[in-house]
Structure 1
Amino acid sequence: MLATLAAALQMHDRLNLPKDPYGAMMQMGDRRTAIPSDWKGESISVLERLGCRATNPVIRARLCDIAWFLQRNLVQTGHQAAAAYLATARGLCDGMIADATDGQVPGVWILTLQKALRRGLQICMQLRPADPELGELEAFIFDAADQFEAKGNPRALLAMLTLAYDFELGDPAAYAGRIEQAATQQGEGGPHITTDALVLAAKAWRRAKDTDGHDRCMMQASEAMVAHANSINQAFSASHFLQEAINLLRGLRSPAAKDRKRDLRIDLIRMQAAAEDEMGVFEHPADLTKLIEWTTEHTNGVTLLDGLFLLAAINRPKSISDLTTEARRNIVDHPLTAMFGVQQHDADGYVRFRAPGASPGQESPEALEHQIAKQEEIHRQVVVEGQIKIVIRNLASHFPISEGDILPLCRESPFVPTDLSRTYARGLTAFFHGDMTTALSILTPLLEASLVYVLKGHDVDVVRHDEEAGTQEDMTITQLFKNLRKELDDIFGDAITGDIDRVFLARSGPCLRHAVAHGTMHDQTPYMPDAIYACWLILHLCLLPLFDRYKQLRVGTDSQEPAAEDGVSVSDAAGEI
Structure 2
Amino acid sequence: MIDQRYSAGLIVTGQDFAACGWKISLADREREGYSSMWQAFSSAARKASEDNRPSHGKALWLLADACSMMLSPKSLNEPFKPFMVMEGRRSVVPDDFSESDIAFYAEIVDAIDDAWLKARVADLVWLKQRPRNVQFALAAIDAYRLIPLDTETWVRGGHECWERAISLARMLKAGAGTRLTEMEAAILDTFNNSTKECGFLGLWLADLLDSNGFGRTHSSVIAQKLNILAVEFEGNGDLHRSREFFDAASRWFERSGDEAKSAEMTVAVAEGWVKEAISRVSSDQPSHMVAASFYEKAIQIYRSIPRSQRAIHKGDERIAKLHRHMSDAGEKSLDELGSVKTPGIDISELVENSRKSVAGKSVQDALFSFANIYQGARVNKIRTAAEKILQQSLLRRLAGSTHLSRDGRVIAKQPAAGFANTDASDDPALWAQMVHDYQILINIVVHGDIWPAHEVLLQEHRLREDDFIGLASQSPIVPRARERLFGKALHAGYDRDFTVAMHLLAPQIEHMVRFHLKNAGVKTTNLDIDGIENENGLSTLMGLPETETVFGKDLSFEIKALFCDALGPNLRNELAHGLLDDDSFQSTHAIYAWWMGLRLVFNTFWNAARKAESDKGAEESNDN
Match of 1:83 in 2: 142
The 8 Å contact of residues 328 and 368 in structure 1, kept in 2 or not, is answered as no
* CA-CA distance at 1:306 after TM superposition: 8.8
**Residues of 1 paired with 2:126 and 2:209: CA distance?**
24
SS of residue paired to 1:466: coil
Preserved contact between residue 228 and residue 241 of structure 1 (Cα < 8 Å)? yes
Matching residue within 183, 189, 213 for 1:143: 189
Report the Cα offset of residue 71 of structure 1.
5.7
Match of 2:105 in 1: 47
Name the residue aligned to 1:430.
Answer: none
Q: Which runs of 5+ in 1 are unaligned?
A: 94-106, 346-353, 373-462, 470-477, 483-500, 508-512, 540-577
Task: Check if 1:182 corresponds to 2:245.
Answer: no
| Residue matched to 2:211 | 166
Distance 2:388 2:257 in 1: 72
> Which of 24, 28, 32 is equivalent to 2:90?
32
CA displacement at 1:8 relative to structure 2? 1.0
Q: What do the CA deviations read for 1:148-186 (whole angstroms, capped 9, x no partner)?
A: 45x975644444333333322232123221121122223
| 1:238 paired residue number | 291
Q: Which amino acid aligns with 1:265?
A: H
Contact 1:226 1:241 in 2 (8 A): yes
Stretches of structure 2 that go unaligned for 5 or more consecutive residues are 1-58, 281-285, 347-383, 401-416, 418-428, 478-484, 510-525, 568-624
In structure 2, give the amino acid aligned to 1:84.
Answer: A
Q: Deviations 1:417-456 (Å, cap 9, x if unpaired)? A: xxxxxxxxxxxxxxxxxxxxxxxxxxxxxxxxxxxxxxxx
CA contact (8 A) 2:74 2:164 kept: no
Distance 1:132 1:190 in 2: 39
| Match in the other structure for 1:9 | 67
| 1:268 paired residue number | 326
Equivalents in 2 of 1:324, 1:136: separation in Å?
A: 53
Task: Report the Cα distance in structure 2 between the residues aligned to 1:261 and 1:53, rounded to whole angstroms.
Answer: 63
User: Are 2:283 and 1:225 equivalent residues in the alignment?
Assistant: no
Alignment-derived partner of residue 22 in structure 1:
80
Aligned counterpart in structure 1 of residue 302 of structure 2, from 242, 249, 268 = 249
Cα 1:173–1:368 shift into 2, 3 Å: closer
Instruction: Indicate the percent of aligned positions where both proteins have the same amino acid.
Output: 19
CA shift in 2, pair 1:285/1:309, >3 Å: farther
Q: Secondary structure at the match of 2:83?
A: coil
Give CA-to-partner distance per residue, 1:101-132, whole Å, 9 cap, x none. xxxxxx52354554443332232222222432
1:358 to 2:490 alignment = yes
Q: Is the 8 A contact 2:293 2:476 kept in 1?
A: no
Measured in 2, the distance between the counterparts of 1:272 and 1:87 equals 52
State which structure, 1 or 2, has the greater radius of gyration over its C-alpha atoms.
1
Shift of 1:305: 6.5
Q: 1:195 offset after TM fit, Å?
A: 1.6
For 1:228, the aligned partner's letter is E
Q: Could you tell me how far apart the structure 1 residues matched to 2:67 and 2:531 are?
A: 67
Structure 1 counterpart of 2:211, one-letter code: D
Distance 1:68 1:263, change over 3 A: farther
Q: Which amino acid aligns with 2:241?
A: I
Aligned to 2:180: 134
| TM-score after normalising by structure 1 | 0.52
Give the secondary structure class of the aligned counterpart of 2:107: helix
- Contact 2:203 2:248 survives alignment (8 Å): no
Do the aligned partners of residues 228 and 297 (structure 1) sit closer, same or farther apart at CA in structure 2, a change above 3 Å counting? Answer: closer
Change (3 A) 1:514 1:265: same
CA apart distance, 1:235 = 0.9
Aligned-partner SS, 1:185: helix
Q: Which one-letter code corresponds to 1:161 in the other structure?
A: A
The correspondence for 2:263, drawn from 215, 225, 232, is: 215
How far apart are the structure 1 equivalents of 2:334 and 2:133?
Answer: 62
Q: Which amino acid aligns with 1:124?
A: A
The count of corresponding residues between Structure 1 and Structure 2 is 376
Structure 1 distance, partners of 2:292, 2:388, is 47
Q: For the structure 1 residues 280 and 355, does the alpha-carbon distance in structure 2 shift closer, same or farther, using more than 3 Å as the test?
A: farther
Does structure 2 conserve the Cα–Cα contact (< 8 Å) formed by 1:154 and 1:182?
no
Q: In the TM superposition, what are the counterparts of 1:326-337 in structure 2 within 5 Å?
A: 332-335=451-454
Given candidates 265, 273, 284, the residue that maps to 2:342 is 284
8 Å CA contact 2:192–2:225 kept in 1: the answer is: no
Q: 1:197 to 1:468 in 2, by over 3 A?
A: closer
Partner Cα separation in structure 2 for residue 238 and residue 63 of structure 1:
50
- Return the letter of the residue paired with 1:250: R
Q: Compared with structure 1, are the counterparts of its residues 185 and 36 closer, same or farther at alpha carbon in structure 2 (3 Å cutoff)?
A: farther
> What amino acid does structure 1 have at the position aligned with 2:287?
Q
> SS state of the match for residue 122, structure 1?
helix
| Deviation, structure 1 residue 55 | 1.5
SS at match of 1:125: helix
Residue in 1 aligned with 2:378? none
C-alpha RMSD over aligned residues: 5.4
| Structure-2 change in CA distance of 1:143 and 1:343 (3 Å) | closer
Normalised TM-score (structure 2): 0.49
- Partners of 1:154 and 1:183 within 8 A in 2: no
Greater Cα offset, 138-147 or 200-209: 138-147
Residues 179 and 201 in structure 1, CA contact (< 8 A), matched pair in contact too = yes
CA distance in 2, matches of 1:40, 1:10: 17
Query: Does the 8 A contact of 2:287 with 2:333 survive in 1?
Result: yes
Q: 1:317 deviation in Å? A: 6.6
CA contact (8 A) 2:231 2:242 kept: yes
Deviation at 1:242, TM superposition (A): 2.0
